[in-house]
Amino acid sequence: MQADFFVEAESMHFYKRDPKIMMTKTRGLTDEQCRGLEVFIDLFISEDGSVPDNDHFVSNHLPWNARKWGRVKRELVALGQLEIRDGRLWSLLADTLLKECQNYIETRRKLIEKRWQKPNEINSDFIASTSTSTLNTNTTEDARSARSKEEEEFEEFWKVYPKREGSNPRKPAFLSFHRALRKGASAAEIIDGARRFAGSAPSERRFIPQAVTWLNQERWKDQSSSSSSVISYAAVWNARSARQLAEREEIEKERAQS
């Protein structure tokens, strides 16, 4: 349908016949000469500027016979209104009007193309925006899924990490857990490390570090499940607590003496 419309539009010829121009160009011509020139201009435009110098052909578009048109034609040529070029009739006025007509047709064709292309552009924009929206939705859903999985893994870590005496803020610990995963650590190795630590944690709960501290110091790397020769967490923390108690007793003695 679109192609047929273009063909129909291009086959129609319109031109502006300015009365002042026609009166100026035909001034001094007889009625027959004016009539003959006007019909020739219409014929020249309808034939896209290719009118053969054939009296019978031209007279078929006039209420005249070939002989009468031949006479009027010779008069118009003598007056400079018509020219014969390589067996074809030509007129400056007709050629100017034809070019205006062709420009008009080209302008109309472009407008029609735009009109037909606009729905396609809208559809393309809609498809592109839908695709982008779908992509964004999928990305958001993937992020939510990853976040949910991470929260589940942290929840498992939090359950196995030993309870301590004193504060143990959960949110900072979750952020440290998240950063550890971003750096390349796996949730499984962190949870395994926390489970090993829980099995050998200090007997005094107040000496168990906060989970955020344990995570920031990457202590899940301190002891592997297959290492039997490494000093246990309990031994380390019990020695540390004994030292701290001794230091505290020494300070209290100095205060008492003073």
For the chain, residues with pLDDT lower than 50 are: 1-11, 225-231
pLDDT of residue 147: 78
Is the pTM here over 0.75, yes or no? no
What does the block give as tokens for 239? 């020695």
Q: What pLDDT was estimated at residue 125?
A: 55
pLDDT at residue 241, as a whole number: 62
Widest distance between CA atoms in the chain:
149
pLDDT tens-place string over residues 51-95: 999 999 998 888 899 999 999 999 999 999 899 999 999 988 888
Domains in the chain, please, with CATH? 1-147 (1.10.10.10), 161-257 (no CATH)
pLDDT for residue 7:
44
pLDDT of residue 67: 94
Please give the pLDDT value at position 137: 60
